Structure 1
Amino acid sequence: MYEELYVALPAVDRYWERLGLAPAAGQPDAALLDRIIGAHQRSIPFDNLDVCDFHLPVSLGIPDLFEKIIVGTRGGYCFELNALFDAFLTEVGFEVAPCMARSLKDYGYLQPVMHRGALVTLDGRRLYCDVGYGGPLPACALPLEDGARVTSCGQVFRIDAAAGSWWHISYCGSAESDAERPATPVLAFLDQPLDTVDFVPLSHFASTHPNSVFTQRRMVNRRTDDGNVSITADQFTQVGAAGKEQWTISGEEEFRALLAQHFGIVLSR
C-alpha cells in the first residue's frame, strides 16, 4: 500500500540538474550537504498551490514527487519537498531520517505539528536540515548543539535544546547589523527519527483541513542569491541587496507572470 514512499529516485542525474549542480564524487561531507541545501532552496520553490488553489490530493510517493517537482519544475510544500530531499540525500550517500516539527510563528496559540524536517548523521554529529519551510531558515545544516549560532547568507540563526527531545531554531537578524535584536522563534523539531509513512496522516490533515494554514492562503517562496521572493495570498514581496519591494497582485494574469518570472512555475490553463 505504501511501497511508493520508499522506492529509489527514478533518475538521480535529473535531480542534480534541477539543482544546477554537477554530480558529486567521493564521500559525502558537510560542505556537500550545505551546497545541496543552498541550491535546493534557490532552485526549487516552496509552494502550496495544489493544496490551496487547485484542491488536489497530495501524493507523497517518490515517483509522483519526482514527476511533479523535478520533471515538471514545480515546487511543493514541506511534506513533498523534504520527502524528495531525503530520498536524494540517501542516494548521494548520506545517513538521513525524517523528523516532525512545528512552526513557532506567533499566531497567539501553539500550532500543531504540521512540518517535516530531516535529521542527518555525519561523522558522529547530528544535523538538522530543511528545504521545505516557507520562511527564514538557514541555507545550510544546523548542528544539534545547545546554543550554537550559525551564519548563513548574511542571516544569523541560533539552535537551543528545549524540553524533552525538542530543539528550537530562532532567527537572530542580519550578520551585518551591530545592534542586538531579540531572537525570533522560527521552528521547533523533535530529535526523534520517524518513518516516512508516519507523515501520510499529517500531510492529509495539512492539505485538507479547513484549520490548516496551507488550505487558508496561497504561499510561494524561494531563496535568491541576495534575499528571497515570495507570494502570500495576493501580496508579492521581493527582498534583495537594494531593499524590499512589495505590492498587491492585480489579478490572475499578473500572478501567473510572477510565478513564471520569479519561481520558474508555468501553470497549465
Structure 2
Amino acid sequence: MWSGDRLDLDGYLERIGYGGELRPDLATLAAVQRAHTAAVPFENLDVLLGRPVALDLPGLERKLVRGGRGGYCYEQNSLLAAALERIGFDVAARGARNRTRGDALLPVTHALLVVTVDGEPWLVDAGFGANGPTEPVPLRPGSGTTQGDWDFGVAEEDEGLLVLRTRRTGEPWRDLYAFAPQRLYPVDFALMNHWSSTHPASFFTGRLVAMLPGRTRRLALVQRELVRWLPGGHEERSAVAPEELPGTVEREFGIRLPGRDAAELVRILAAGE
C-alpha cells in the first residue's frame, strides 16, 4: 500500500539518525517516530515557491531523505508509512479536520496514520507540526500519554468521531483535530495534497511555515514570526526580517536552501510586507 518494499530503508534510517532495533513492536514504533519528528522538519517551502508537492516514493526520498528537506503532513506520513510498512507494521491512514484555527468548520485536509501493534491501534503522526505528538498515542477514548512537557489523549464524540487533544502541564486540554474511523489510501492523500498546495483558502498557500515538535522545546515559524516553546512553560516570540529567513530556517530547522531558492524566498517575503 505505501511502497515500503521499494524504500531505501538504510537511507531513511540514516536521515533520521536511528540505529536501534527494527521489530514490529511498540518500542520500535515509538523510537522511529521520535527520531523522525526530531530530524525531519515540518515545512511548506515548495508550496510557497510555487512548486508541485510530489507524494510518490522516489520524490519523497529525493526531497526528505537525500535532499535534507522537510515537508507537510502528506509527505511526512507517506514516508513514515513506507518505513513502518517495510519494518513489518500494519499501517492505515485517516483524514482529519484541524481544530486549532478557531471555530470555523474546516475541510478534511490533515492526514494521519493508525498503526496496529499486537491487535491494539495507535495514532501515529509525524506531520502536525509544532503541536503534534512525537510518539504513538493510544487510540482508546479516555486514555492518554505524556510526552515530555505535553500530554496527548483521544476523546470520542457523536457518530464515533475521534479527537486528538493536547495540553501542556498545568494547562487545560485543547483539541488538535477530529477524524472518523474511515480508512484512507494514498490516492486520498493526493486529492488533499492538491487542495492544500493550490487552493487560495489553504493555510499553506502564500504563507511560509516551518515547525519542529519536541518533548520539551518546540519551534514554529509562520511568515516572519518565530515562536519558541521552552522548558518550564516559557515562550519566546521574535520577528524575522525577510533577509534573515534563509539563515533562520537553516539554523533553527536544519533546512539548507540553494542560493536561488533562498533569494526567491526573501523576495516573496519582502513583497508581502
Q: Same fold per TM (> 0.5)? A: yes
Q: Does 1:28 align with 2:18?
A: no
Inter-partner Cα distance in structure 1 for 2:116 and 2:215: 28
> Are positions 1:182 and 2:182 aligned together?
no
Partner of 1:249: 240
2:13 aligned partner, one-letter code: W
Which residue of 2 is the match for residue 15 of structure 1?
12
**8 Å contact from structure 2 (residues 94, 183) kept in 1:** yes
Shift of 1:259: 1.1
- Give the counterpart letter for 1:245 in structure 2: E
1:265 aligns with 2:255: yes
Following the alignment from structure 2 to structure 1, what is the Cα–Cα distance between the partners of residues 180 and 86? 24
For the residue of structure 2 that corresponds to 1:89, the secondary structure is helix
Change (3 A) 1:198 1:225: closer
TM-score (norm 2): 0.89
Q: Distance in 1 between matches of 2:185 and 2:242?
A: 41
Which whole-Å CA distance do the structure 2 matches of 1:136 and 1:224 have between them?
9
Note closer, same or farther for the CA distance 1:217–1:139 as it changes in structure 2 (3 Å cut).
same
* Structure 1 counterpart of 2:116: 121
Q: Which residue of 176, 179, 182 corresponds with 1:192?
A: 182
Deviation string, structure 1 residues 184-222 (Cα, Å, up to 9, x no partner): 111112222222112211110110000011114211001
Structure 1's unaligned 5+ residue stretches are: none
Structure-to-structure mapping, 1:56-75, within 5 angstroms: 56-75=51-70
Question: In the alignment, what sits opposite 1:54?
Answer: 49
1:16 alignment partner AA? L
Corresponding residue number in structure 2 for 1:146? 141
Per residue, is there more helix in 1 or in 2? 2
Q: CA deviation at 1:182?
A: 2.9
Q: What secondary structure sits across from 1:215 in the alignment? A: coil
Q: Match for 1:45: what amino acid?
A: P
C-alpha distance in 2 between matches for 1:131 and 1:7 = 17
2 CA distance for matches of 1:198 and 1:224? Answer: 28
Output one character per residue of 1:129-166: Cα deviation in whole Å (capped at 9) or x when no partner.
Answer: 10001232221111121111211112112211222242
Letter of the 2:29 counterpart: L
Q: Which runs of 4+ in 1 moved over 6 A?
A: none
Under a length normalisation based on structure 1, what TM-score does the superposition of the two structures give? 0.90
CA RMSD of superposed structures (Å): 1.8
Q: Percent identity?
A: 31
1:205 equivalent in alignment to 2:195: yes
User: For the residues of structure 1 that align with 2:31 and 2:97, how far apart are their CA atoms?
Assistant: 25
- CA distance in 2 between counterparts of 1:110 and 1:18 reads 37
User: For the structure 1 residues 246 and 207, does the alpha-carbon distance in structure 2 shift closer, same or farther, using more than 3 Å as the test?
Assistant: same
Aligned-partner Cα distance in 1 for 2:107–2:221: 23
Query: Aligned-pair distance for 1:244?
Result: 2.5
Unpaired segments ≥5 residues, structure 2:
260-273
